[in-house]
C-alpha cells in the first residue's frame, strides 16, 4: 500500500485540502484522514465526496469561515457536573 500512497501523492493531496479547510473542526478531521484498504470504507468516502462535489456544483456556498472551535465546549460536556457558560452554549448552537 505504501507504493500506492506515494504514487497518489497522498500527503500532497492532504496538504492541499488542509489549505482549504475553514474551521478548526475541519482541520482536525483532515489531520485524521488516512489511506484505507477497507472496501466498504472507501465506497462510503467516495459517496460522501460525490455528495459534496454535487452540492458545490449547484452553486451553493457554505459560509463556514467564522465558526468557533467546538472542542473546548465539547470537552467540558464530557465532565460530570460541569456547566457550560452562555457563550459556549451559543457557539455550539451555531453548529447545529
- Asked if pLDDT for residue 63 goes beyond 80, the answer is no
Task: Tell me the backbone φ, ψ of residue 67, rounded to 5 degrees.
Answer: -70, 135
Where would I find the beta strands (DSSP E) of 1-96? Answer: none
Q: Could you tell me the three cell numbers for 84?
A: 457550560
Cβ-contact 91, 68 below 8 angstroms: yes
Q: Specify the pLDDT at position 1.
A: 67
Kindly indicate the confidence band of residue 9, based on its pLDDT and cuts at 50, 70 and 90.
confident
Cα gap 47→44, rounded to integer Å: 5
pLDDT digits 0-9 by tens, 39-53: 999 999 999 989 988
Q: Specify the pLDDT at position 44.
A: 95
Cα gap 57→82, rounded to integer Å: 43
Q: Specify the pLDDT at position 8.
A: 76
Amino acid at each position: 500500500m505504501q507504493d500506492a500512497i506515494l504514487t497518489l501523492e497522498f500527503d500532497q493531496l492532504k496538504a492541499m485540502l488542509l489549505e482549504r479547510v475553514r474551521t478548526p473542526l475541519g482541520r482536525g478531521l483532515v489531520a485524521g484522514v488516512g489511506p484505507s484498504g477497507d472496501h466498504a470504507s472507501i465506497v462510503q468516502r467516495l459517496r460522501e465526496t460525490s455528495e459534496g462535489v454535487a452540492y458545490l456544483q449547484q452553486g451553493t456556498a457554505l459560509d463556514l469561515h467564522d465558526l468557533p472551535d467546538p472542542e473546548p465546549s465539547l470537552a467540558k460536556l464530557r465532565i460530570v457536573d460541569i456547566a457550560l457558560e452562555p457563550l459556549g452554549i451559543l457557539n455550539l448552537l451555531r453548529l447545529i
